[in-house]
Amino acid sequence: MKNIKRLLCQWESPELVAYKLIREWGEAGFIWLDGDGSDLGRWVTLGINPLEQFCSRELGNSKKYSNPFKILRELPQGHWTGWLSYEAASWTEPQNPWQKSSMATLWIASHDPILKFDLQKRELWLEGKDPKRISIMENFLNSTFHQKLSKPDSEAAKQAECKHSIPLESWDWRLTSQEYSERVDEIKEWIANGDIFQANLTTSCQAPLPESMRPIDVYSKLKKYSPAPFAGVIIGDQMAKGEAIISTSPERFLKALPSGEVETRPIKGTRPRDRDPEKDADWAAELICSPKDHAENVMIVDLLRNDLGRVCQPGSINVPHLLVLESYSQVHHLTSVVKGRLNTNKTWVDLLEACWPGGSVTGAPKLRACKRLYELEPTARGPYCGSILNINWDGVLDSNILIRSLMIKESSISAHAGCGIVADSDSQKEAEEMNWKLMPLLNALT
18 sits in which H/E element: helix 14-25
Contact 297, 308 (CB under 8 A): no
Helix, strand, coil fractions of the chain, as percent rounded to 5: 35, 30, 35
- Residues annotated catalytic, as ranges: 251, 268
Classify strands 198-208 and 172-173 as parallel, antiparallel or unpaired: antiparallel
Contact 104, 243 (CB under 8 A): yes
Side-chain half-sphere CA neighbours of 417 within 13 A = 22
CA 405 to CA 170: how far, in whole Å? 18
Strand partners, 253: none
98-101 own/partner pairs: CB under 8 Å, 24+ apart: 98/59, 98/60, 98/374, 98/380, 99/374, 99/377, 99/379, 99/380, 99/381, 100/59, 100/380, 101/380, 101/381, 101/382, 101/383
Contact 125, 6 (CB under 8 A): yes
CA 18 to CA 202: how far, in whole Å? 32
Question: Whose CA is closest to 14, among 134, 118, 142, 110?
Answer: 118
Coil, strand or helix at 288:
helix
